[in-house]
Structures are given as structure tokens and as C-alpha cells.
Amino acid sequence: MCGIIGYVGEQNATPILIDGLARLEYRGYDSAGIAVLDSQGAIVVHKRAGKLRNLSNAISSSQPHGVQGIGHTRWATHGEPNDINAHPHVDCTGDLALIHNGIIENYQELRKELMAEGHVFTSQTDTEILAHAIERELAQGAENLETAVRNILPKLRGAYAMVVMSRKEPGKLIGARNNAPLIIGAGNGESYFASDMTALLKHTRSMLTLNDGEYAVITAADIRIHTIDGKQVQRTPIHVEWDAQSAEKDGYPHYLLKEIMEQPAAAQRALLSRIKPLDDRLVPQIDEIDALAQSGKLKNISRIIMLACGTSYYASLIGRAMLERWARIPVEPWVASEFRYADPVVGPDTLVIAITQSGETADTIASVRLAKESGAVVVGLTNMVGSALTREVDVTLYLNAGPEISVPATKTFVTSVMTLTVLALKLAELRDTLDAFAITSLLRQVETIPAKMEKLLEIVGVENNTIQQTAKWLAPCQSAMFIGRGSGYAVAREGALKLKEVSYIHAEGYQAGELKHGPITLLDEFTPLLAVATHSIVYEKVISNIQEVRARRAKVIAVATEGDELIHKHAESVFYVPEIDELLVPALAAIPFQLLAYYTAVERGCDIDQPRNLAKSVTVE
Ligand code: G6P
């Protein structure tokens, strides 16, 4: 949470910082601020509560000019989202400016200490103590900013990605990280810090990761990385394949719509090179899993634990069904924030599959560490190259979704499901629980998913009136109920999450069979039912559940299988998905709900790409 950016080079820093913040705004939008070291050698700070546009408007007539600066977009934790609590924060002298993402857990004791020594605090944030603590080191004789930063790091508890600059040491930025993301961009005669690579794609595709417990000193010409104890670290830059264009809206009114429409291509990329023809068969190809198997690490595995949060958790519910059905192995999906405090039963017999599109979700990372310490083997799924997850796991499977800018996840959901699909078939092959014929026949169907998505989007997509009409009557509702059975239940949970995230309509996802045990009381003519009623062994059961609510006058929107004409008898509105094996339906069935959430939010005038109170990367617990 919170987006941070730093620039040092020869260009005017302000437009670079503002543009970077625009790309990072999805990480938090309670306030925005910049600090620029101007040509007179003064640090000029501008900050405003609210969205970045408030800051941009405030500085439009008098932009600070200078060749280095830092910028921040905030998701408030300590201190309400106002101008004063906005970052950057400065020390008592105004010589230092600092931005931070994360939470300093021992900030109160540090603040007390610093106040007792005469430091004057202006904000309620935990961040401000960092500026004063560095100031104190310098006052007590630290030879330079780098030493001062290095001295304070061991005293901090909690999570941080921070960038600091000093008016007394121009041409230099120092960044440090622990449990919060920070990457370095290596440009031509210029260097950058940023919370993630999308902020820098316009300037460079050469990036270096910074690990927890490391800090970096960057100048226009040089990048140096050190561990907290001062040892220099050699790191080779990564070349990022994403191009700047892929992080633009491309004529769509919102990133969310663009990303929904990009799902067929994203699904295709997630499957690319993971399905291989072999003679007249198809085989799942995941080299990373083969390597794990060859190393003997999978030999004693008798169960799987899945760890994730939010949309990634719903992807894990879909993964569970495939893993259990095909690889015949017990699977427990856990919400990561619950797992880590549950004293979980986990050990060397456990394969952990952790899913986090950002690769940075604090609870997921902490749970992975816990599982590893207990001897589990961990496979991580993420969209972010070099993210924290990749450093914690035994192997990483990349989602290859491309940049996902909108806060509500769509592309990363379907690519997680695609990756889990091939993984489940790979484990079925290794465990010999499905024969080659069955695997081939499933993979042939998997291969058709991108094209089926394309067709589905053509039918229910942008120009489709039915979905927009349905959104019109959904928009005034205060509440909605989503139901499904089996994997359809996971789709219902994800559908409900999308609707509440984007349109702020209260929504619940329930197992269809559980409706009659309580939630049915909530249904009436103003509370619609959204049902996953695709062909499966439980189709008729779902239809019975729909009938139960129709008797209570609730309106029904159904996602059904193409060709199912009877469904019209049970629903006011129907969205069809193509016929496919029932365990493969979810990646398709989720799409009408995504579009419905989108158009409902449009009707309600919501802030679609940046829903209130949310952030795309959740680095706090
Ligand atoms: C936030 C986002 C959700 C996302 C969840 C987990 O809450 O708003 O869209 O599903 O974090 O994120 P992760 O990066 O771990 O998949």
C-alpha cells in the first residue's frame, strides 16, 4: 500500500514524479505529495489530501524545478488522510525529505525518545519518526546520509520501503526496504526508485530488485546496493518485457474494462509453453515442478495448503476442486491472515501453493515464511517479477497476465486459475491419478479457453445491451446475493467481491444449498439473486435453489451454459458461457459478473479503477 517514486538525473523531476504517481495511485489515494530539490538547493515540498489531481492542480501554476525528487501516494494507516499527514515528511531542519510505505511498529517509543530530545513533530504519522531519527544520527556525527540511514534501520520494527534525500548531499537518493516493495530503475544517466515497475516502464525497462534488509544509494550515474551491515551486493538488472503501452488505457474509459477485455490474451500467455504436444497426446509442462520432483522434494507430500487473500483466495478455491478431483490429494485453502495466527498443522508432508498477484501481500508472505520454517515445500504464483514472494518460495510460477492497473483484479484472477489448472494436471500426472488420455482430453479443452473467452466477451462484452440493461436495474439495489455450488460457489464469492468492490453494493457469495439455512430471509423483490447455473452434476440442485428464492419474489440473474433454453423459465436475465468441463467453467463464468460489476459501477458513478478505501497491493497486516 502507498506508492513511492524517486528520481535523480538531468531532467526536471516534477513531471516525472507526477506521472509516476499517476501510475502508482492504485496503491493508495488518500493523499499525494512530492519533494523536489530545486536549483537553489532548497527542498520544496507540496502535498495535498485526496487524489493526485488535487496535488497536480495545486502546483499547476508553480511547479518546483530541480533534477531530483521523491513522490508519494498514500493509503493512510497512522493519522487521518489530511495535508499534514501526507508524505513527504521532513526533519526539524528541513534539510531532509522522506517518503515511506509500510508501518513502523515501534514508532511510538521512537517518537517519545525523539521528542524528549527536542525534536518537533508536525504529523501523526509513524513515517515522520524516520526523518527525525536520521536527523539525530547526522547531528550525532554520522559521516553522511548513507551512514545515518544504515544506523537507524536496525532500530526499526515493522515494514518499510522508504526513500530519503538531503539538501546537503545533492544528486543522491537513498532507499531501503523491509517487507514492502521497492525496485530500482536504471536509466540512461538517470536512476529511479519505485514501488513497482509499471511506474517506470515509460523511462526504462532495466530494473533491479532490492531485497528485505537492503538499502541502495542511487545517483544519476550509479546504483549501489548494500546489506544493512554495509556489505556491498552485486545485482544484475532484470529486463522487463512489459512495454509502456501495455500499462496505458488504450482508449478504454477505465483500466478495469480494458483488463476485462484483455483476459483472453492473458489466459493464452498463462498457458503458453505450459501445454506441450507429445506424440498424439498433450502433456502439462511445468519445468519448475519437474525440478522439484527430481530433487525429491515432492516425495513425502500427502496434502496441499493454499494461501492467498482476496481475489487470489477465490482462485485458490477453484484450484482446490481441480487438485482434489484430478490429483486426488487433500487440499485446504486458507485466507493467509487467518493461517498465520492459527497455529496451523503444517510440515514436510505439506505442499503449499501461495497465490498473490502483487507478490507483496503482507499476510501471504508472512504465512509462506511460517510454512517454510515448518518444513513445507512452497510453490508461489505471482504476476510480479522479482517480488517478495519470489524470494521466499521454492519455485515461482509467473502468471504472465501483463500489467494490471485497476485495483479490482480480473486478468490476474483468470491467469491464476489457468496456472492452477495446468499445475493440478501436472500433479495428477506425477501422482499417476489420471491417465494420459484423460489429461490430454482435459488439456485439449483448456487450450480452447482463451478463444471461448474471446467469444464470450464478444457476446456479453462492450457493446452488449443486455448486460448494461441488467446493470441498470441492479444499480439501485442495496444488496445482492450470489450463489453457486462446487466451483460455482467460488465464482459466486468472486462475483460478490467484484460487485461490492467496484459498485459499493453489499453482496454476499453463498453456497447455493446454504441459502435455506439463513440467508434466504434477506431475499425479496429488491435483493436480486445472481446464480452460477452452468451444467454440472449439481445443475438441478442449483435450479431448485433458484426456485426457492423466486417463490420469495427475488429477481434472478443466471450464468448458464450455452444452449440451456430452459433457464429462461427461472431467471429474468441470462448470460451464457460456452460448454466445457465443469471444473474448467469458472474462468469463463466469472466474466459476466466482472462486466456486470463494471457497468453497475458506471451507472452508480463510482470510482471504478480506484474504489474507496482499497489498494491493489496490501503490504500492511
Ligand atoms: C487487495 C486487492 C484485491 C486482491 C487482494 C490480494 O485487497 O484490492 O484485488 O485480490 O489485495 O492481493 P494479492 O496481490 O495478494 O493477490
pLDDT at 133 over 60: yes
179: left (phi over 0), alpha (psi -120 to 50) or beta: left
Exactly one of 2, 258, 498, 606 is catalytic; which is it? 2
**pLDDT (mean) for 335-357:** 96
Q: Rounding to the nearest 10 degrees, give the CA dihedral for residues 530, 336, 598, 564.
A: -30
Kindly indicate the confidence band of residue 495, based on its pLDDT and cuts at 50, 70 and 90: very high
Look at ligand 1, atom 3, and give the residue with the nearest C-alpha. 310
For every residue of 372-396, DSSP letters joined together read: HHTT-EEEEEESSTT-HHHHHSSEE
The minimum-distance atom of ligand 1 relative to the CA of 409 is 9
CB crowding 15-36: b at 16 or more within 10 Å, else e:
ebbbebbbbbbbbbbbbbbbbb
Distances (CA, A) of 509 to 30, 68, 483, 614: 29, 48, 6, 20
pLDDT in the model for residue 554:
87
**pLDDT (mean) for 120-126:** 93
Active site residue 2: yes
Q: Look up residue 160 and give its DSSP letter.
A: E
Q: How far, in Å, is the centroid of ligand 1 from the Cα of 621?
A: 12
pLDDT at 196 over 60: yes
Q: How far, in Å, is the centroid of ligand 1 from the Cα of 401?
A: 15
Look at ligand 1, atom 13, and give the residue with the nearest C-alpha. 356
Active site residue 616: yes
Look at ligand 1, atom 15, and give the residue with the nearest C-alpha. 356
pLDDT in tens, 502-558: 999 999 999 988 988 988 888 888 899 999 999 999 998 899 888 888 877 889 999
pLDDT in the model for residue 515:
85
pLDDT in the model for residue 239:
87
Q: How many Cα atoms within 13 Å fall on the side-chain side of residue 600?
A: 28
208 CB-near residues (< 8 Å, 6+ apart): 183, 184, 185, 186, 216, 223, 225, 235, 236, 237, 238
Round to whole Å and give the CA distance between 488 and 475: 23
Q: How far, in Å, is the centroid of ligand 1 from the Cα of 53?
A: 25
Q: How far, in Å, is the centroid of ligand 1 from the Cα of 339?
A: 16
pLDDT in tens, 563-616: 999 999 999 999 999 999 999 999 999 999 999 999 999 999 998 888 887 777
Q: Among 352, 336, 347, which residue's Cα sits nearest to residue 373?
A: 347
pLDDT in the model for residue 620:
66
4-13, 229-238, 429-438: the lowest-pLDDT one: 229-238
What is the best residue among 616, 619, 620 to mutate for testing ligand 1's pocket, by most ligand atoms within 8 Å of CB? 616
Q: Rounding to the nearest 10 degrees, give the CA dihedral for residues 484, 490, 491, 493.
A: 90
* Contact indicator for 529, 483 with CB cutoff of 8 Å: yes
Burial grade of 390 (CB within 10 A; 0-12, 13-18, 19 or more): middle
Exactly one of 258, 411, 555, 616 is catalytic; which is it? 616
Round to whole Å and give the CA distance between 601 and 503: 4
Higher pLDDT, 431 or 196: 431
Higher pLDDT, 524 or 247: 524
The minimum-distance atom of ligand 1 relative to the CA of 408 is 9
pLDDT at 103 over 90: no
pLDDT in the model for residue 386:
80
pLDDT in the model for residue 462:
54
Look at ligand 1, atom 16, and give the residue with the nearest C-alpha. 356
Q: How far, in Å, is the centroid of ligand 1 from the Cα of 311?
A: 6
Q: How far, in Å, is the centroid of ligand 1 from the Cα of 97?
A: 30
pLDDT in the model for residue 293:
96
The minimum-distance atom of ligand 1 relative to the CA of 310 is 10
Round to whole Å and give the CA distance between 41 and 57: 24
What is the best residue among 335, 618, 620, 621 to mutate for testing ligand 1's pocket, by most ligand atoms within 8 Å of CB? 618
Q: How far, in Å, is the centroid of ligand 1 from the Cα of 310?
A: 5
Kindly indicate the confidence band of residue 322, based on its pLDDT and cuts at 50, 70 and 90: very high
pLDDT at 136 over 60: yes
Antiparallel, parallel or unpaired: β 43-49 and 31-37: antiparallel
**Alpha helical stretches, state H, 374-525:** 388-392, 411-431, 436-447, 449-460, 465-474, 487-503
Q: Look up residue 472 and give its DSSP letter.
A: H
pLDDT in the model for residue 516:
84
Round to whole Å and give the CA distance between 214 and 134: 17
Q: Give me the chain's average pLDDT, please.
A: 93
Look at ligand 1, atom 8, and give the residue with the nearest C-alpha. 616
pLDDT at 61 over 80: yes
The three cell numbers of residue 599 are: 457497468
Kindly indicate the confidence band of residue 138, based on its pLDDT and cuts at 50, 70 and 90: very high
What is the best residue among 361, 368, 389 to mutate for testing ligand 1's pocket, by most ligand atoms within 8 Å of CB? 361
pLDDT at 491 over 80: yes
pLDDT at 483 over 90: yes
pLDDT in the model for residue 397:
96
How many beta carbons lie within 10 A of that of residue 54, not counting itself? Answer: 16
What count of residues does the chain have? 621
What is the best residue among 357, 381, 498, 608 to mutate for testing ligand 1's pocket, by most ligand atoms within 8 Å of CB? 357
Round to whole Å and give the CA distance between 132 and 76: 20
SS3 99: strand
Pocket of ligand 1 (CB under 6 A): 309-312, 356-358, 361, 364, 407-409, 614, 616, 618
114 backbone dihedrals φ, ψ, rounded to 5°: -70, -40
Distances (CA, A) of 40 to 106, 168, 534: 36, 12, 67
Q: How far, in Å, is the centroid of ligand 1 from the Cα of 359?
A: 10
pLDDT in the model for residue 82:
87
pLDDT in the model for residue 461:
60
